[in-house]
Chain A
Amino acid sequence: MKSLTFRHLTNSAVTLLMVLATLTVLTPLALIFIHIIKMGLSSLSLDFFTQIPKPTGESGGGMANGLFGSGLLILMASVIGLPMGVLGAVYLTEFGGGKLASAIRFSADVLAGVPSIITGMVAYALIVVPMKGFSALAGSVALALIMIPIILRTTEEQLKMVPGTLREASLALGVPLWRTSLKVMLPSAAKGVVTGILLAIARIAGETAPLLFTALGNQFWSRKLTEPIAALPLQIFSFAIAPYEDWHKLAWAGALVLVCIMFALNLGARVMGRQKRYS
């Protein structure tokens, strides 16, 4: 048997290692945050939220159109992706035992692993080419394709956790299976489902690649689904690589706003996820 001091020493050494590892992970994250906050705050102004970008060479301007565009893209992507993801999950848990269900699960997993630029290319081929132009719609479809597998799998996991006795209770009252799924099972899993949805939205809010050749970006206001539209991540990207000091500042401000949005969404998801579930 090893001596007590030896065990104490090992214990301390391993603890130290773990602390170091944690710090190694946290340090870059903290550095990124601190830098974005520092650079972003100094460039952020009310104009950022109310103005659209100024023409090349002029100073000032903001990303109001990008904020609006991102909002619209996320909304449209949710309109498409949410029902498909949630209802697909209901199908998988309540009705799907067969080959079709396995095929759907497999496809969802593959889809979740596809690089987002490829998803953008798919939307390009599906929407941009036939419609002969970049559009907000194409961008929404690309983002929806990213959302669907995330929502599908998280919702399915949550539905599986709802006790089967509730399903039986409802069926035994003469409630059809489809009503039971939608009115008993789904509401019982609601909190977890919403958590998954928030995480999916957080995921697409920062996506840039799938928008590059779908929504394309726009220097001006656009509210039409059939026209190219500005998006916050796209604007950050194009402003950051531009050779103007002023634009770099706007990009920093945009980055700060984007990070704050992601933070809020993730926090929301955490809060929802922590609330008591049915046990």
Chain B
Amino acid sequence: MNSKVHLDNMNVHFGSTHAVKSVSLDFPANSVTAIIGPSGCGKSTLLRSINRMHDLVPTARVSGRILLDGTDVYARGVDPVAIRRKIGMVFQKPNPFPAMSIHDNVVAGYKLNNSLKRGETEEIVETSLRRVALWDEVKDRLKSSAMDLSGGQQQRLCIARTIAVQPEVILMDEPCSALDPIATLKIEELVEELKERYTIIIVTHNMQQAARVSDATAFMYMGEMVESGPTKKIFTTPEMKQTEDYITGRFG
């Protein structure tokens, strides 16, 4: 399998806190990789290093290599903005732009960059919304505020907004943790479909979710990558005792 994103001995420090410790991991193209682990173990930190979201945190320091298609995203001369266009991100809490309509939220990436070409807007909006199975629910009220949608719809809108700018990789940081079970199920089905076009890395604290949606699973503990491999293997015959304890819920 060809590797889309590759972490090579990656470390993240916040000041003196060593949040991610020497992680090496491979994310194959067009697959879903789940990152699981107890809260505070560094999952979000690892994820946010990949699209350089830590650039805004003055205390954050990322070392090691993060390769996207073989190119180090932290190499000198690489524009973080260009990286973020290729690596989209969906956040824990749905965060549509409150002042924008549903329609404008979908094309926000273009609008904010003044790069929207006349005539192609409607097509982008419809395709993106269809792809997240939101089109039928909102097609009659595209002009109304995104804040009128339910939490689950807002999150699908955020995914639509992310895929509208045609990324190659989508990072999802506990995208369902603020949603009810039915909305969660919809997002999970969506992830399943999206992997045909995108490489997906999803952080979750919900192990059933990891088991349901992912092809590969990586278990992190206290900043370290304890074990990673095919999801089935991790959940049935883990090699490490810590992994087994965590997935069987025997964790302190």
Contacts and interface: CB of A to CB of B under 8 A. Distances in A.
Answer whether A and B are interacting partners: yes
A183 B84 contact: no
Nearest to A98: B58
Interface residues of B, number: 25
Contacts of A100: none
A19 B90 CA distance: 54
B161 interface: yes
Contact of B113 (A168, A169, A174, A278): A174
A177 B57 CA distance: 13
B113 A175 contact: yes
Interface in B138-172: 158, 161-162, 165
Nearest to B83: A174
B51 interface: yes
B99 A187 contact: yes
Contacts of B158: 169
Nearest to A167: B56
Interface in B90-146: 91, 93, 95-99, 108-109, 112-113
Interface in B157-209: 158, 161-162, 165
B66 interface: no
A94 to B, nearest CB: 9
Contacts of A183: 112
B53 interface: yes
Contacts of B161: 169, 173
What band does the interface of chain A fall in when counting residues whose beta carbon is under 8 Å from B? 20 to 34
B112 A188 contact: no
Interface in A219-238: none
A60 B97 CA distance: 58
A179 B115 CA distance: 12
A172 interface: yes
Given A169-B97, A174-B165, A180 B91 contact: no
A164 to B, nearest CB: 9
A211 to B, nearest CB: 39
B98 A278 contact: yes
Contacts of B56: 167, 171, 177
A13 interface: no
B112 A172 contact: no
Contact of B53 (A171, A180, A184, A278): A171
B95 A184 contact: no
Given A179-B112, A180-B112, A184-B112, A168 B53 contact: yes
B162 A173 contact: yes
Nearest to A183: B112
Contact of A278 (B81, B99, B109, B112): B99
B53 A172 contact: yes
Interface in A99-125: none
Nearest to A165: B95
B244 to A, nearest CB: 35
B58 A173 contact: no
Contacts of A175: 81, 109, 112-113
| Residue in B58, B113, B161 whose Cβ sees the most chain A Cβ within 10 Å | B113
A181 to B, nearest CB: 11
A166 interface: yes
| Residue in A173, A180, A183 whose Cβ sees the most chain B Cβ within 10 Å | A173
Contacts of A170: 97, 108, 112
Contacts of A172: 51, 53, 84, 88-89, 91, 162
Nearest to B98: A278
A184 B113 CA distance: 11
B85 interface: yes
B240 interface: no
B84 to A, nearest CB: 5
Contacts of B84: 171-174
B82 interface: yes
Given A168-B91, A169-B158, A179-B113, A174 B99 contact: no
Nearest to B82: A174
Given A171-B53, A172-B84, A165 B91 contact: yes
A85 to B, nearest CB: 22
10 contacts: A163-B95, A166-B97, A168-B89, A169-B95, A169-B158, A171-B53, A172-B84, A172-B88, A174-B165, A184-B112
Given A169-B95, A173-B84, A187-B99, 16 more contacts: A166-B95, A166-B97, A167-B56, A168-B91, A169-B96, A171-B56, A172-B84, A172-B91, A173-B88, A173-B108, A173-B109, A173-B112, A173-B165, A174-B113, A175-B81, A188-B98
